[in-house]
């Protein structure tokens, strides 16, 4: 199942400061509800996990988050998330594009979900993902 979502959020700090914080994966990932960094795997990548509740099910996904592209002048960054469901056959992968301007930012998420999570249906999965990103954007202002 493929899901695309767009979110905007306010930036209260200088755009360069927010951009630097977004590229700091050890600060960024815990802003996602249930997200944590397990270890740094490279200068631009970490091993991370997220615990997600979908309806009556709770699932844990473990994988990598990597900064694929960065453009400091345009204040944009592209990240790749590749994860597998713990104890299952499913995965949750995504490309996430951050774009910042003075006073605001946007996140474009293109996610591919399989396994038990996908069996919940596009409405449930989209709703959970939308809620996770909305809460995440609220926490970005504090970075």
Residue 143, pLDDT above cutoff 90: no
What would you report as the CA-atom Rg of the chain, rounded to the nearest whole angstrom? 15
- Read off the pLDDT of residues 81-133 as tens digits, 9 standing for 90 and up: 999 999 888 999 999 999 999 999 999 999 999 998 888 888 888 999 999 99
**Residues β-bridged to residue 52:** 59
- Read off the pLDDT of residues 13-38 as tens digits, 9 standing for 90 and up: 999 999 999 999 999 999 999 999 99
Distances (CA, A) of 3 to 47, 106, 138: 23, 17, 21
Give the confidence band of 62 by pLDDT, cuts at 50, 70, 90.
Answer: very high
**Which of 3.30.70.1230, 3.30.530.20, 2.40.110.20, 3.30.70.270 would CATH assign to domain 2-140?**
3.30.530.20
Give the confidence band of 140 by pLDDT, cuts at 50, 70, 90.
Answer: confident
Residue 51, pLDDT score = 95
Residue 42, pLDDT score = 96
Contact indicator for 19, 75 with CB cutoff of 8 Å? yes
Q: Average pLDDT for residues 72-83, to the nearest whole number?
A: 98
Which stretches does DSSP call E strand in 1-143?
2-10, 35-42, 45-54, 57-71, 76-85, 91-101, 104-113
Residue 85 CB neighbours (<10 A)? 20
Q: Where are the domains of the chain?
A: 2-140
Distance CA 61, CA 14 (A): 33
Q: pTM (2 decimals)? A: 0.93
Residue 40, pLDDT score = 97
């Amino acid at each position: 199942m493929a899901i695309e979502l767009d979110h905007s959020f306010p930036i209260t700090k200088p755009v360069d400061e927010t951009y630097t914080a977004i590229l700091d994966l050890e600060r960024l990932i815990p802003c996602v509800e249930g997200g944590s960094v397990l270890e740094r795997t490279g200068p631009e990548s970490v091993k991370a996990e997220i615990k997600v509740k979908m309806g009556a099910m709770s699932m844990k996904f473990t994988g990598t988050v990597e900064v694929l592209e960065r453009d400091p002048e345009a204040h944009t960054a592209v990240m790749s998330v590749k994860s597998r469901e713990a104890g299952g056959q499913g995965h949750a992968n995504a490309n996430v594009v951050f774009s910042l301007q003075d006073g605001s930012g946007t996140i474009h998420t293109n996610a591919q979900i399989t396994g038990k999570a996908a069996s919940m249906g596009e409405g449930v999965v989209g709703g959970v993902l939308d809620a996770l990103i909305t809460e995440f954007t609220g926490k970005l202002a504090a970075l």
